[in-house]
Amino acid sequence: MRLGVLVSGSGTNLQAILDAVATGALDASVAVVISNVSTAAGLTRASNAGVATEVVNHREYASREAFDTRLVERLRHHQVDTVVLAGFMRIVTRVLLEAFPRRVVNIHPALLPSFAGVHAQRQALNYGVRVAGCTVHLVDEGTDTGPILAQAVVPVLDDDDEESLGARILVQEHALLPKVLQWMAEGRVRVEERLGRRPRVFVTG
């Protein structure tokens, strides 16, 4: 499995992927890391691991579709077959999704369908939930609405703030994302399309 990882920031989930590949826990290669932000620390992480990097600045494109068209061109150039959004702060369009059908994966710091979108940890704290967590899901055209692949639960402590809760969720993200990608590498993930209903995901083995 050849991964194309899209990042906008620090790239800690990218690092988890790189570490899993290095130890053999993930039977895949990271073919390229692309960022829409030239200063993203994730690019440095990739370079340090000997992975190709590219910058595609979304501000240089007139539309989301034009931006995604360029992303697809660069991903295909590197022979990517699976795309991972690892802290990529852009909503992707049908252009990217149709180029990699059911092969675009996202990690979100909440137990979807609750608290989609930005500031998920803040949303959870404001709502007063007792458990939070993270979700790995396939991406569709909605905001964090795609079929759920796996989730991990994190308790909300009485003295939690957004930073402390986010840090504990991040630990689970780093474990969960490579694990799910390995399921995909092993061909264990099956998506069942259901007429008039949301797709359902099965993990075999």
Q: Burial level of 111, CB count in 10 A (0-12/13-18/19+)? A: buried
Work out the burial of residue 96: count CB atoms within 10 Å of its CB; fewer than 13 is exposed, 13-18 middle, 19 or more buried.
buried
d(CA 99, CA 131): 36
Beta pairing class for 189-194 and 197-203: antiparallel
List the beta bridge partners of residue 29.
Answer: 2
Residues 6+ away with beta carbon under 8 Å from 48: none
Which two structure tokens, joined as six digits, stand for 155?
């308790």
- Residue from 78, 108, 119, 174 carrying the catalytic annotation: 108
Q: Does the annotation count 108 as an active-site position?
A: yes
Residue type, 108: H
Catalytic residues: 108
